[in-house]
Amino acid sequence: MFLSDFRKEFYEAVLNQRVLLLVASDVDALCACKILQALFQCDHVQYTLVPVSGWQELETAFLEHKDQIKLLVKQDDDLEIPAYDDIFRDEEEDSGNESDGSEPSGKRQRFEEEIVERTMKRRRRREWEARRQEILFDYEQYEYHGTSSAMVMFDLAWIMSKDLNDMLWWAIVGLTDQWVHDKITQMKYVTDIGALQRHVSRHNHRNGDEENSLSIDCMRIAFEYDLCLALYQHWSLYESLCNTCYTSASLKLWSVQGQKKLQEFFADMGFPLKQVKQKFHSMDISLKENLREMIEESANKFGMKDLRIQTFGIHFGFKNKFLASDVVYAASSLMENTERDESGTDNFIKALDSLSRSNLDKLHQGLELAKKQLCAIQRTVASCICTNLVISQGPFLYCYLMEGTPDVKLFSRPVSLCLLSKYLLKSFICSTKNKRCKLLPMVMAAPMDVEQGTVIMVGIPPQTESSDKKNFFGRAFEKAAENTNSRTLHNHFDMSIIELKMEDRSKFLDALISLLS
């Protein structure tokens, strides 16, 4: 069913029901969940929350609760919403009044006309089916992301006049998750930021509100044109520059020459190493006053012209300030934490809790995990480039992390492996002189379960300025597995992430090369 009125056809339909909330394992989904939870709490709606990391868990959750599920999707003439079969049907159904051959001879001409008409109708039907298949193929060939789920849920709250500042912050974090993980184009990100900026102005104008501006518990969101340096306000400036993909790739920090460039960069800014290597909040105030402008000026000299980004920051009282990207990194790291032997559900709940301002300890815990994750990514990127692990397979670049590689356990998780793949591709593009390689997509694989002999594989589109972020690897993986009878599991909601038996890796890759050549 297509929804044209989200409030009437979705929210009001579930208002007096018990709701089953199935939430995927990504930060945008967590934020959408938080907004829905707040709305349900406001309207006293009972719900059951079930985290699902893939299609198998989704099916299991549905089967467990199917006896209680009522399908609320309903055909209603007043809604003027066509069903799937109505969209893809012929404009006319064949008539059931067929000739039995007993008509008088005077009607023979009409009978022949009917045969011609039916023949033409069948031909039009075949043409229509062929066109339909072509349209569906073009639609399903690529995988891409639309508007953030959290933004959609916030719009629902706004339409119902139930939007709160907390909900707005979750919508911002959901959008930022799409940007951090490179799921949407820069144009889409800037457009959505503009839409949210109007809501931020509406919710956070407190010029004359002294009570709120001085309250230790107050929450204030502000638009900022800030540095796109990962976690720099909770780290040292030196560590942040070394572990941010854009700066690390641009300066080629995996090389001795790159490290010299970094020293020159700090010298150009006039920042002593003693200052940049200590915690950001401990730096001299005089250095921090014009930090953004000084870094941007020096960055331009070193060819880094995109070091600032439109984003939002949040203040909790006097002490705690976070950028939206800080929260994304923290929540993602909590969700894929491999340091403890905890279930996926436990990690999901911790990540969900970290989004609440009453659980800042969880958020700080996530920030520490995120720092370790970013350091692990940069170490692995440096290792892959210095040991020439990235190889050109013709239509794509390929890299495989061997068992025993440091931090390999972390990269058995889909979001971490995707982040590593994107960092590695950007760094490889900066390191290679081969112009053709700069335009290629990348396939990356890492051991997933040694006992079961499986690897996790991800495909990412090329990193070009004109990239529309459409990913064709989902369909390509399916076709390659089908052509070679490879034992694959397409369990992830993201079709470009699959699980594959180790022994089938070679023939699967050969089929993929043949398919994409």
Half-sphere exposure of 143 (CA within 13 A, CB side): 17
How far apart, in Å, are the Cα atoms of 202 and each of 140, 149, 222, 425?
39, 21, 11, 40
CA distance 517 to 507: 15
Element (H or E) spanning 307, and its range? none
The DSSP call for residue 281 is: G
Distance of CA 144 to the CA centre of its chain: 9
CB atoms closer than 10 angstroms to residue 433: 6
CA distance 276 to 240: 10
CA distance 377 to 357: 29
What angle in degrees, to the nearest 10, is found between the helix axes of 344-353 and 27-42?
Answer: 70
Structure tokens at 498: 């699959």
- Render each residue's pLDDT in the chain as its tens digit; 517 residues: 566 777 887 888 888 888 888 999 899 999 999 999 999 999 898 888 999 989 998 888 888 887 776 543 333 333 333 344 443 444 444 444 444 444 555 567 777 778 888 888 888 888 888 888 877 777 777 888 889 999 999 999 999 999 899 999 999 999 999 999 989 988 999 999 999 999 998 888 755 454 445 454 578 899 999 888 999 999 999 999 999 999 999 999 999 999 999 999 999 988 888 888 999 888 888 888 888 888 989 998 988 888 889 999 998 877 788 999 999 999 999 999 888 778 888 999 999 999 998 889 999 999 999 999 999 999 999 999 999 999 988 899 999 998 888 888 889 999 999 999 999 999 999 988 888 888 899 999 999 988 889 999 999 998 877 677 888 888 889 889 998 998 999 999 888 999 999 999 999 999 999 988 8
How far apart, in Å, are the Cα atoms of 515 and each of 96, 246, 476, 510?
46, 32, 7, 9
Distance of CA 313 to the CA centre of its chain: 20
Kindly tell me the burial class for residue 210, based on how many C-beta atoms sit within 10 Å of its own C-beta (0-12, 13-18, 19 or more): exposed
Beta strands, E only, 364-465: 391-392, 397-400, 442-449, 454-460
| DSSP bridge pairs for 459 | 443
Q: What pLDDT was estimated at residue 372? A: 94
Distance of CA 173 to the CA centre of its chain: 12
Q: Which residue reads 């953004």 in tokens?
A: 292
Q: What pLDDT was estimated at residue 91? A: 42
* pTM (predicted TM-score): 0.84
427-429-434-435 Cα dihedral, nearest 10 degrees? -170
Q: What pLDDT was estimated at residue 80? A: 36
Q: Closest Cα to residue 262, out of 277, 248, 243, 244? A: 248
286-291-295-296 Cα dihedral, nearest 10 degrees? -130
How far apart, in Å, are the Cα atoms of 3 and each of 8, 309, 334, 473?
9, 34, 34, 29
Element (H or E) spanning 343, and its range? none
Q: What pLDDT was estimated at residue 215? A: 53
Distance of CA 278 to the CA centre of its chain: 33
CA distance 61 to 244: 38
CA distance 90 to 83: 14
47-49-54-56 Cα dihedral, nearest 10 degrees? -70
